[in-house]
Amino acid sequence: MTAEQQLKLQALLDGELPEKEARETAAWVARDAEAADLARELRQTRQALADAEPGLRVAESREFYWSRIERDIRRLEQAPTLSQPVSVLARLRRLLVPVSAVAALVVIVLATGLWVGFWGRPIRPDTEMTMADSGAFTYHDYANGTTLVWLDYPAER
């Protein structure tokens, strides 16, 4: 029996053949012992499956089983979905976020440029005096590369 004949026989049993082809195939099965045996086996297997589909049941209680479904439904209902219409404000916000980021970047670059200057030298005063804390006084001379620190209390021994 060829593979094609086997599948045709199966299609006959499944009611998938057109009427004329079904008649021809049935006649062939009637006169071919091998085909008849195969047809019987396929029918029996089909019957066995129909009789014995596992009768499984959900082991969890009705309430417990439902509780997870309900929780997921509520969670999904609260979450924004893509299918929801997007408001004009939301669209504007979506547009403004990257624009703001770019603007902030430009400001930073410009500020850095001012600080560094066009010649690559930091723009800062030649000297600077700062109070580090209540008792210390720092003097920086950038031109000479000097830093002096005055302490107005005695050093610890």
Residues in touch with other proteins (CB under 8 A): 3, 6-7, 10-11, 14, 16, 34, 37-38, 40-42, 44-60, 62, 65-66, 68-70, 72-73, 76
CA 18 – CA 24 distance, rounded (Å) = 10
Closer to other proteins by Cβ: residue 59 or 88? 59
* Min CB(31)–other proteins separation in Å: 16
Closer to other proteins by Cβ: residue 3 or 88? 3
Closer to other proteins by Cβ: residue 5 or 137? 5
User: 120 — alpha (psi -120 to 50), left (phi > 0) or beta?
Assistant: left
Asked if 49 and 14 touch (Cβ cutoff 8 Å), the reply is no
Which DSSP category does 118 fall into? T
Closer to other proteins by Cβ: residue 49 or 143? 49
* Min CB(79)–other proteins separation in Å: 12
CA 35 – CA 27 distance, rounded (Å) = 11
* Min CB(97)–other proteins separation in Å: 30
* Min CB(119)–other proteins separation in Å: 60
Strands 136-141, 146-151: pairing kind: antiparallel
Q: How is the beta sheet containing 136-141 ordered, strand by strand?
A: 127-133, 136-141, 146-151
* Min CB(20)–other proteins separation in Å: 18
Closer to other proteins by Cβ: residue 44 or 146? 44
From 115, 116, 114, 138, select the one nearest 127 (Cα to Cα).
138
